[in-house]
């Protein structure tokens, strides 16, 4: 990493058994820089800020951001809690933590959930934006996050909602070309391997039940949607970062991947679509630890 000295001071490494870490393409280490770049335009950063706002943090409060990625939620939380407050970001990807550090996050921990390396009832708030879909078991991960939450504290999570809008031309071309190379089953399995609960959590009833399984009460769920417009080339590059894109790149190897990208770019260019417009829809769920 570019600033290893700073990261060495900023990031605490927790014990992560190798058998619990996913393989390289499943993790986000190789896509941290473009992920950070696109989150501002695809709605992820706005979602993280709205999630933090839903926690009603006060000056001097403490927040743990589980699966902090490149630090969008931490930046919002730092403004909310002020100089007397504490924000801690946790992620399994050192590359993502490096991006968060570069954005000003001071307290970062490399770790996983379940297995949070914090004592019980340590934080006033806990946030996890688009994280529950990625864990092995939602209920176990949620209980661990609730464990480190103080009595009276709020725990907030976000998850994707049903999209409702038809796939655009660029996406259809990308997917059809990918399916012709590896088959639809392989793409579906790749997505499920990275985010096994993504589809299940689109149902707000499932999301509410998950928070309740962690002992949370007074659960509220709200939907957010964000209109997204980006150049077609950027949109195609963003698809490469998602689970099916990372899998395909790993599976094809450098030469065939380059051929695939050239083919997709050419096919999309034939449609003369300069921009992609779509709406991203998400659930934000917040519960309170009363006992």
Q: What is the pLDDT of residues 108-134, one digit of tens each?
A: 999 999 999 999 999 999 999 999 999
CA neighbours closer than 13 Å in the CB half-sphere of residue 220: 6
Q: Is the peptide bond before 114 cis (omega within 30 degrees of 0)?
A: yes
Domain contains 153: yes
Residue 1: its pLDDT value, please? 32
Confidence band for 31, pLDDT divided at 50, 70 and 90: confident
Residue 31 sits in a domain of what CATH number? 3.40.50.150
Structure tokens at 42: 């695809």
Average pLDDT score over residue span 275-284 = 93
> 180: exposed, middle or buried (C-beta count within 10 Å: 0-12, 13-18, 19+)?
exposed
Give per-residue burial for 248-285: e unless 16+ CB within 10 Å, then b.
Answer: bbebbeeeebeebbeebbebbeeeebeebebebbbbbb
Residue 65: its pLDDT value, please? 97
Residues in the chain: 291
Q: Which of 150, 162, 163 is nearest to 55 (CA)?
A: 150
Q: Which of 146, 172, 32 is nearest to 97 (CA)?
A: 32
- Is the confidence at residue 164, as pLDDT, over 70? no
Number of domains making up the chain: 1
Average pLDDT score over residue span 259-288 = 95
Residues 42 and 237: their CA atoms lie apart, in Å, by 12
Domain contains 137: yes
Residues 67 and 70: their CA atoms lie apart, in Å, by 9
Domain contains 102: yes
Domain contains 250: no
Residue 145: its pLDDT value, please? 97
Confidence band for 19, pLDDT divided at 50, 70 and 90: very low
Could you tell me if 89 and 108 are in contact, meaning their C-beta atoms sit under 8 angstroms apart? yes
Residue 165: its pLDDT value, please? 63
Residues 45 and 48: their CA atoms lie apart, in Å, by 5
Domain contains 251: no
Residues 162 and 190: their CA atoms lie apart, in Å, by 20
Could you tell me if 84 and 24 are in contact, meaning their C-beta atoms sit under 8 angstroms apart? no
Phi, psi of 118 (to 5 degrees): -135, 150
Could you tell me if 72 and 96 are in contact, meaning their C-beta atoms sit under 8 angstroms apart? no
Residue 22: its pLDDT value, please? 61
Confidence band for 12, pLDDT divided at 50, 70 and 90: low
Looking at every residue in the chain, the average pLDDT score rounds to 89
Containing structural domain, residue 217: 4-165+196-229+279-288
Residue 6: its pLDDT value, please? 38
Helix (H, G, I), strand (E, B) or coil at 91: strand
Domain contains 253: no
Confidence band for 15, pLDDT divided at 50, 70 and 90: very low
**Worst-scoring range by mean pLDDT, 118-127, 192-201, 255-264?**
192-201
Structure tokens at 261: 């990208």
Average pLDDT score over residue span 47-51 = 95
**Worst-scoring range by mean pLDDT, 34-38, 115-119, 208-212, 283-287?**
34-38
Residues 191 and 197: their CA atoms lie apart, in Å, by 10
Domain contains 178: no
Average pLDDT score over residue span 237-251 = 91
Residues 221 and 152: their CA atoms lie apart, in Å, by 18
Strand order in the sheet with 123-129: 11-13, 108-110, 86-91, 62-66, 123-129, 149-160, 275-288, 217-231
| Percentage of the chain lying above the pLDDT 90 cut | 74
């Amino acid at each position: 990493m570019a600033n290893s000295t700073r990261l060495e001071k900023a990031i605490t490494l927790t014990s992560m058994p190798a058998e619990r870490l996913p393989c390289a393409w499943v993790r986000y280490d190789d896509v941290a820089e473009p992920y950070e770049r696109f989150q501002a335009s695809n709605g992820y950063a706005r979602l993280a800020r709205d999630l933090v706002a839903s926690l009603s943090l006060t000056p001097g409060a403490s927040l743990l951001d589980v699966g902090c990625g490149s630090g969008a939620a931490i930046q919002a939380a730092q403004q909310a809690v002020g100089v007397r407050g504490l924000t801690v970001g946790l992620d399994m990807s050192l590359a993502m933590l490096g991006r968060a550090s570069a954005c000003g996050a001071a307290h970062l921990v490399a770790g996983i959930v379940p297995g949070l390396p914090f004592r019980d009832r340590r934080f006033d708030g806990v946030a996890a934006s688009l994280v529950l879909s990625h864990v092995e078991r939602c209920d176990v991960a949620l209980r661990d996050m609730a464990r480190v939450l103080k009595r009276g504290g709020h725990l907030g999570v976000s998850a994707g909602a049903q999209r409702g809008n038809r796939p655009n031309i660029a996406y259809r071309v990308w997917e059809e070309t990918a399916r012709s190379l590896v088959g639809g089953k392989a793409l579906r399995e790749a997505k499920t391997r990275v985010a096994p609960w993504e589809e299940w959590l689109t149902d707000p009833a499932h999301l509410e039940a998950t928070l309740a399984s962690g002992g949370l009460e007074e659960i509220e769920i709200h939907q957010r949607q964000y209109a997204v417009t980006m150049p077609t080339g950027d949109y195609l590059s963003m698809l490469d970062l998602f689970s099916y894109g990372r899998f395909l790149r790993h599976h094809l190897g450098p030469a065939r991947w380059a051929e695939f990208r050239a083919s997709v770019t050419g096919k999309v260019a034939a449609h003369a679509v300069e921009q992609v417009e779509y709406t991203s829809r998400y659930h934000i769920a917040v519960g309170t630890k009363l006992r």
